[in-house]
Amino acid sequence: MPADVTGVLRETGLFRSAPAEELQRLAGAARLRDFRRGQVVFTAGDPSDTVIVVVSGSVKVVVRSADGGELTLTVIGPGGLFGELGVADSGTRSTDAEALTDCRLLFVPRDQVADLCSRVPSVGYALTTSLAAMLRRLTEAASDLVFLDLPRRVAKILLGQPRDGAGVIQLGMSQEELAHRAGGTRQSVNAALRGFERRGWIEVHGRAVTVRQAEALGRFAGN
């Protein structure tokens, strides 16, 4: 198992440049856990004591209001990681994280990661790069919420998903979950998708969406 964990760590942007012996040390301290769809990984205010790598499945990172409103900040798939902000400031979790699908996660102790960043400059630089990318992503998302209407936000989300050769996106999320990511309601997201269908830009089949006219969808989204 340590060898498998070392391989998982090596595939991440944060740990890719670490020497083999350092990765083995991290692997020995890390632990794997399986989560069911909908299971909470952590909540805002929890200690930021681990960096978490997604081995399989996907996790959504969300913020919630006091009255139960939810906004999905990002969805992280295999090879991605989250929780690295705690390495920089030792603060508590600022968001909730929840399994979007059944998934397997690797928990790496924060102290071990911080020590590695201090001793291996390339890993410290990778952490800085990761945090900068997070800030850029959140800045763009905030801009979209302010300046784009909901149909255009839905279009941008669709275009940001991986598609196969036939243009099919396996969203892996319900329309309500898509609404949480777009900052709207399930009904408004459904209306946006149906509008795209009427234009011939997409076809919706359950949780799968086939993009028929990506350029038209992109022009609409302002890409």
Does 17 lie in the same domain as 78?
yes
Contact (Cβ atoms closer than 8 angstroms) between residue 211 and residue 202: yes
* Residue 21 one-letter amino acid: E
pLDDT given at position 31: 96
Q: How far apart are CA 186 and CA 22, in angstroms?
A: 46
CATH of the domain at 46: 2.60.120.10
Q: How far apart are CA 189 and CA 197, in angstroms?
A: 12
User: What's CA 195's distance to the chain center, in Å?
Assistant: 27
Does 127 lie in the same domain as 187?
no
- Tens-place pLDDT, residues 22-37: 999 999 999 999 999 9
The helix/strand/coil state of 5 is helix
Q: What is the 3-state secondary structure (H, E, C) of 36-89?
A: CCCCEEECCCCECCEEEEEEECCEEEEEECCCCCEEEEEEECCCCEECCHHHHH
Q: Which residue, 119, 145, 171, sits at the end of a domain?
A: 145
- Tens-place pLDDT, residues 87-143: 988 889 999 999 999 999 999 999 999 999 999 999 999 999 999 999 999 999 899
Does 128 lie in the same domain as 199?
no
**Residue 161 confidence class, pLDDT cut points 50, 70, 90:** confident
Question: Exposed, middle or buried, 9 (CB in 10 Å: 0-12/13-18/19+)?
Answer: buried
Does 92 lie in the same domain as 17?
yes
CATH of the domain at 192: 1.10.10.10
With the C-alpha atoms ordered 43, 45, 50, 52, is the resulting torsion angle positive or negative?
A: positive
Q: What is the DSSP string of 108-158?
A: EEHHHHHHHHHH-HHHHHHHHHHHHHHHHHHHHHHHHHHHS-HHHHHHHHH
Does 115 lie in the same domain as 184?
no
Domain that residue 31 falls in: 2-145
Percent of the chain with pLDDT over 90: 78
Q: How far apart are CA 46 and CA 128, in angstroms?
A: 23
